[in-house]
Amino acid sequence: MKSPDKFDTIIAGGGLIGLTAANALARINSGDPAKTSLKIALISPQFVEPDGRTTALLAHSIDYLKEIDVWKKALPKAAIMSAMRIIDNTKRLLHSPEVAFKSMEIGLDAFGYNILNSDLSAALSSSLKNYSNYHRINDKIARAVQRDGKVIVRLDSGVELSGRLLIGADGRNSTVRQYANNGEGIKVRKWSYPQTAIVLNFSHTLPHFDTSTEFHNTSGPFTVVPLKKGVSSLVWVVTPRAEEEIKRLQPELLDREIEDQMHSILGKTKVITDIQSFPLSGMNAYQMAQERFLLVGEAGHVFPPIGAQGYNLGIRDIQELQLLISSHLSNLADIAKKYDSNRKRDVISRTVSVDLFNRSLLSVFLPVQAFRSATILAISEIAPIRKLMMREGVSPGLGIRALGDGLRDFGRIFQNDQ
């Protein structure tokens, strides 16, 4: 059956962000009694390369996946993260203390969950089967232009589609971003780091106790995140030269190296997946939207795999987009400036924090090391700062709101005492 050529929203990209956006937007009521929901098209090639990586979903993202009715399908495949540890493994003169956090300290059952990307993708795809207004088109965008109050999309197959909005969820090399602004594209700022991330999953003989552990090395973080019983995922940030050496190791030597890096806290280890590696880089689009072209996820911002920011930040893009589309159904052209403005502060603040953290590990400048150690010490020992950082980490704004509530409670107590 031929798919309709007219849509309300066209989404480019069939990865996690594109599938999440499709689930969110397919739920929006059109406001027209004769048409109960918006027509959504998702454009992506049928074949998607297998992804052995995992995604750490923070509490805010899980709440949103519950809201769009996806989480109940993903939960059986997800592993809980109820505790976190930070261990300074730099062996520098200025050594930071070990820091341990438990989600119960801020009234949560978990900081988040870790899940294989393939399992999350399957849950998102399964949920989309519930929407008759959603159409998957296995193709690529060859051209996109804005004309007569619509976006006209030509596919590689020659088929043309029209939509009121075109959402770029097609990654760091976004086609949507390139065709925005009358074909001039949305400009971006790119940067790179002298680091590579090695990604793999491994089994271990000792239990992980639902704890994510981050070792801080001079080359970058070595982050172990729990999966199912006896299995964890690893993001290991190293220099490009070290990456080559690690990839040349025989399997038993690689297993031992990983165990040594963790000081055997999980016992004996065994790598159980292929090794993937990715040069560390970053990118921010100067605009997250331009008229009827809007960007979500890595089409608008790229982060190193540090601090679980990538997909979780993309979730917040989609949440804002869903809210704006729902409230501007009569004129979707009005939302671009609002979306761009509303998302910039969050994107910039996360970019700065991840960048500073990563560069502080690489720096040999003693004042930088001293500042980093003092910051970690403050987080470890000063309860209000500790709880603020935990809350902000799992859900942006949660820590600030809790601080505000605390100050208001203190004010009421003070007034009552007068």
All structural domains of the chain, each given as residue ranges with its CATH number in brackets, are: 78-116+198-279 (3.30.9.10)
CA dist., res. 24 & res. 45, Å (int): 21
> What's the confidence (pLDDT) of residue 407?
35
State the amino acid at position 207 in one-letter form: P
Number of CB atoms found within 10 A of residue 80's CB: 15
Positions of the chain with pLDDT under 70: 1-4, 30-36, 47-50, 92-95, 306-308, 357-418
Cβ distance 320 to 342 under 8 Å?
yes
Structure tokens at 32: 């027209």
Helix (H, G, I), strand (E, B) or coil at 193: strand
Number of Cβ within 10 Å of residue 137's Cβ equals 20
Q: If residue 256 lies in a helix (H) or strand (E), which one and from where to where? A: helix 251-261
Encode pLDDT of 173-198 as tens digits.
999 999 998 889 999 999 998 899 99
| Residue entry with tokens 């780091």 | 193
How far apart, in whole angstroms, are the C-alpha atoms of residue 372 and residue 88? 11
Maximum distance among all Cα pairs of the chain, rounded to whole angstroms = 76
Predicted pLDDT of residue 157: 92
- pLDDT for the residue numbered 354: 74
The encoded tokens of residue 104 equal 């119960």
Q: What pLDDT, on a 0 to 100 scale, did the predictor assign at position 53?
A: 87
Q: Give every CB contact of residue 94 below 8 A, 6+ residues apart in sequence.
A: 366, 369, 370, 372, 373
Angle (nearest 5°) at CA 77 between 196 and 167: 65
Alpha carbon distances (Å) from 171 to 150, 285, 311, 353 = 23, 12, 11, 22
CA distance 8 to 10: 7
Nearest to 278 by CA among 200, 162, 361: 200
Helix axes 383-394, 366-381, angle to 10 degrees: 100
Reference 405, options 58, 102, 106, 64; nearest CA is: 106
Phi, psi of 111 (to 5 degrees): -70, -30
One-letter amino acid at 66 equals K
Q: What is the pLDDT of residue 108?
A: 83
Please give the model's pTM, rounded to 2 decimal places: 0.85
